[in-house]
Amino acid sequence: NKGFVLPCALDFDVIIAARPRADETFVMLSLSQDNAGETSFPVDNIEQSGPRWAQYIKGVAWALGQAGYDVRGMDLVIEGDVPISSGLSSSAALEVAAATAMAHAAGLKIPGPELALICQRAENEFVGVNSGIMDQFISAVGQEGHALFLDCNDLSHQHVPFDVEPDGLRLVVMNTCYKRSLKDSIYNDRVKECATAVEQLAKPIPGIKHLREVSWEQFLEYRDTLDEVPRKRAAHVISENQRVLDAVKAMASGDWMALGCLMDASHDSLQTDYEATGPHLDAMVEEARRIPGTIGSRMTGAGFGGCAVALVREDAVEQFTEQVSARYRERMNLEPGMYVVKAAAGAGIV
């Protein structure tokens, strides 16, 4: 939709140990508990085969070659603690880490925004997931203690201070531990539904190409010209763009209560208009909101499972993690994950 987003990188890691090879082969060993295994592929014949985790690295090598860069054979050992299929962008983290390692080994100086676009192309065209640019961009250019305000239309961006600890708050990630596959989910359907909304709105508003070009006032004026499903998708996207702009102001001024209200409104819109939450995420957010020390909470990632995030008073974090976990476990018969996190830096060479 080419709109506004406001992600931050978290203090989870994907670590890749890499060394060049004398031949034109990639040999990859994953030590991840969820995706352990070894595989290899030739640089001059990159095929969409092998384990799922390897597809992302293959895609990056392919996309680097498509961008005109020299891709050389390498040995890669991959380890990480980013929860898989959780909405915390584990695929983007793997892609950007791999691209950073490949570029460094080849002596290439690729700017972060360009590296992010290469990784997005890998995910879109090689892996087959119609993701936006946000996950790869924050993984490539994130700064410690900051969120990133990104305009997905022209990739202009601004680092926004996001250090809540001095004000007695903590950021808590809540993993529903309900797995979903993006490629096989209705995520790609949402992309098509937003495109349909643009087509229908282009009749009364000629020339628009993306929903970010439609103001809330225009949407209210012409919403009755839309079919029901595209109308709901557009309502979320257009209102969410304004919430992002408001969240940047709230962060800049340290108005965490305002930010919490925006988080709550965002989740409600994702639930009712974008229909991207599902029972597990909704249960987690409902239980988070029952804790008096919760400032705001919402789902994160593509939805349909995965994680939610909450802004919580420091003196309530222990109660929050214990009670939300217990109540979610009772409701959904799943053991959730709870992580107290902070805004961290993006990819780099160690």
| Residue positions annotated with a catalytic role | 135
Answer for the pair 168, 22: CB distance below 8 angstroms, yes or no: no
Residue for token digits 């119609």? 130
Q: What value, to the nearest 5°, has the Cα angle with vertex 120 and ends 56 and 6? A: 120
Taking the CB of residue 79, how many other CB atoms lie within 10 A of it?
15
Query: Which residues, 6+ apart, have CB-to-CB distance to 160 below 8 Å?
Result: 6, 146, 147, 148, 149, 248, 251, 252
DSSP reduced 3-state for 179: coil
CA–CA distance, 31 with 99 (Å, rounded to integer): 18
Element (H, E) at 138: helix 134-141
**Helix spans in 254-338 (H):** 256-272, 279-289, 317-332
